[in-house]
C-alpha cells in the first residue's frame, strides 16, 4: 500500500464511518478496487484508520460527554458487551475481513433488514398517531425533579441528563448488545445501535447521538488492542502509511460530521438501505 492509496482509503473511511452503510465494507471493497493485497497489515489498517474518524467524534461530542458523569458512565456501560465479545472473537473477525463476497452479502441482507425496520417504525408511528419522541419527552419529565435534586451536579450536567434521560443504564447496555452485531464486517455499527435504540423506544435523534458517543470508547479500545497485537510487525513505511490514512480519515470526518449527523437524524434510512443493496450486488458482480 502506498501513500496515495492510504489517502483514498482514509477519505472513504471519513465519509462512511457515520453513515449506516458499513465503513468496513467500503474499505474492503476500495482495497480490492485499488488492487491492494489483503495482508495482516491491511486488516489492521482497516481498523486503525477508523479511529481517525472517531477522533472527529471526540471533538464533536467529547465536551458534552465529559460534562456529564451519567453520559460518560452510559457510554462505558454500552461499550462493555462489544468489548467482551470483540475480545473473544478477535481472530475470527480479522479472518472475516478477508472474505469480500461474504461482506457483500451481509451488506445486501442488512439493507433488506433496514427496509423492513423503517417500515415497522413508520407503521408504529402511524398507529400511535405520534412520533416516538413524545414518549421520550414524557420519560424525561418524569425524572426531571429527581435530576434537579441531586447534589454536586452543575447546570450543564443537569441539562444533559434531562436530555438523555430516556437512555437508562440498562438501555445503554442493551444498545451495546446490539452493537455487537457490527462486529460482523458489513453490518453497520451506526445502523445497529440506532435501530437498537429505537427498538428500546428511544427517539431517532437521541439514538443517533448516543450511537456516535458509543463509537468513541468502542473504536479507541479496538484500535489500541489491534496496535498492541500487531504493532511490532509494522515497519517504518507501514507506520507512515497508517499515519497518513489516519489523518485523512480524521480531516474528512471532521469536515462532514455535522452535516451527516443532521441528515441521518432527520431522514429515513431507506436511501441507505437501497444504497447498501445496490453496492453489495455490484461488488458481487464486478469485484468478487
Averages of pLDDT over runs of 10 residues in the chain (288 residues) are: 93 90 91 86 83 85 77 90 88 81 94 94 74 47 47 68 84 94 90 94 89 84 80 82 92 88 87 96 89
What pLDDT does residue 176 have? 94
The confidence score (pLDDT) of residue 132 equals 45
What is the model's pLDDT at position 152?
A: 59
Is residue 191 a contact partner of residue 20, using CB atoms and an 8 Å limit?
Answer: yes
In this structure, what C-alpha cell is assigned to residue 20? 449506516
Q: Is 270 exposed, middle or buried (0-12, 13-18, 19+ CB in 10 A)?
A: middle
- Which CA distances in Å does 108 have to 124, 152, 192? 25, 49, 15
CA-nearest of 220, 195, 208 to 83 is: 220
pLDDT at 212: 83
- The pLDDT score that the predictor gives to residue 181 is 93
Q: Do the beta carbons of residue 51 and residue 220 sit within 8 Å? A: yes
pLDDT at residue 151, rounded to an integer: 55
DSSP labels for the chain?
A: --HHHHHHHHHHHHHHTTSTT-HHHHHHHHHHHTT----HHHHHHHHHTHHHHHHHHHHHHHHHHHT-HHHHHHHHHHHHHHHHHHHHTHHHHHHHTT-HHHHHHHHHHHHHHHHHHHHHHHHHHHHHTS-HHHHHHHHHHHHHHHHHT-TT--HHHHHHHHHTTTS-HHHHHHHHHHHGGGGSTTS-HHHHHHHHHHHTT--HHHHHHHHHHHHHHHHHHHHHHHHHHHGGG--HHHHHHHHHHHHHHHHHHHHHHHHHHHHHHHS-SHHHHHHHHHHHHHIIIII-
| Phi and psi at residue 173, to the nearest 5° | -65, -40
CB contact burial 79-111 (16+ within 10 A = b; e otherwise): bebbbebbeeeeeebbebbebbeebbbbbbebb
Residue 148 pLDDT: 46
Rounded Cα–Cα distance for residues 283 and 103 (Å): 9
pLDDT tens track for 1-32:
899 999 999 999 999 988 899 998 999 899 99
Place of cell 500500500: 1
Long-range contacts of 5-8 (CB under 8 A, 24+ apart): 5/34, 5/36, 6/45, 6/241, 6/242, 6/244, 6/245, 6/248, 7/244, 7/245, 7/248, 8/34
The pLDDT, as a whole number, for residue 271 is 94
Amino acid at each position: 500500500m502506498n501513500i496515495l492509496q492510504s489517502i483514498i482509503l482514509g477519505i472513504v473511511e471519513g465519509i462512511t464511518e457515520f453513515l449506516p452503510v458499513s465503513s468496513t465494507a467500503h474499505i474492503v471493497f476500495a482495497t480490492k478496487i485499488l488492487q491492494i493485497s489483503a495482508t495482516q497489515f491491511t486488516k489492521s489498517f482497516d481498523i486503525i484508520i477508523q479511529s481517525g474518524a472517531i477522533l472527529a467524534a471526540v471533538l464533536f461530542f467529547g465536551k458534552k460527554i465529559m460534562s456529564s458523569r451519567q453520559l460518560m458512565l452510559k457510554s462505558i456501560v454500552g461499550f462493555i458487551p462489544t468489548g467482551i465479545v470483540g475480545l473473544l472473537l478477535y481472530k475470527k473477525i480479522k479472518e472475516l475481513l478477508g472474505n469480500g463476497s461474504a461482506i457483500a452479502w451481509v451488506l445486501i441482507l442488512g439493507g433488506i433488514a433496514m427496509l423492513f425496520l423503517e417500515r415497522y417504525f413508520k407503521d408504529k408511528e402511524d398507529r400511535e398517531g405520534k412520533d416516538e419522541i413524545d414518549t421520550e419527552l414524557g420519560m424525561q419529565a418524569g425524572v426531571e425533579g429527581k435530576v434537579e435534586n441531586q447534589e454536586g451536579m452543575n447546570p450543564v450536567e443537569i441539562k444533559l441528563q434531562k436530555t438523555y434521560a430516556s437512555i437508562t443504564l440498562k438501555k445503554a447496555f442493551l444498545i451495546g448488545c446490539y452493537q455487537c452485531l457490527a462486529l460482523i464486517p458489513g453490518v453497520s455499527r451506526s445502523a445497529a445501535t440506532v435501530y437498537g435504540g429505537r427498538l428500546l423506544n428511544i427517539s431517532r435523534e437521541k439514538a443517533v447521538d448516543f450511537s456516535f458517543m458509543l463509537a468513541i470508547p468502542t473504536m479507541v479500545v479496538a484500535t489500541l488492542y489491534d496496535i498492541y497485537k500487531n504493532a511490532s510487525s509494522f515497519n517504518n513505511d507501514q507506520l507512515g502509511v497508517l499515519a497518513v490514512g489516519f489523518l485523512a480519515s480524521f480531516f474528512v470526518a471532521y469536515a462532514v460530521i455535522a452535516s451527516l449527523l443532521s441528515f441521518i437524524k432527520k431522514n429515513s434510512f431507506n436511501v441507505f438501505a437501497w444504497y447498501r443493496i445496490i453496492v453489495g450486488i455490484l461488488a458481487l458482480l464486478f469485484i468478487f
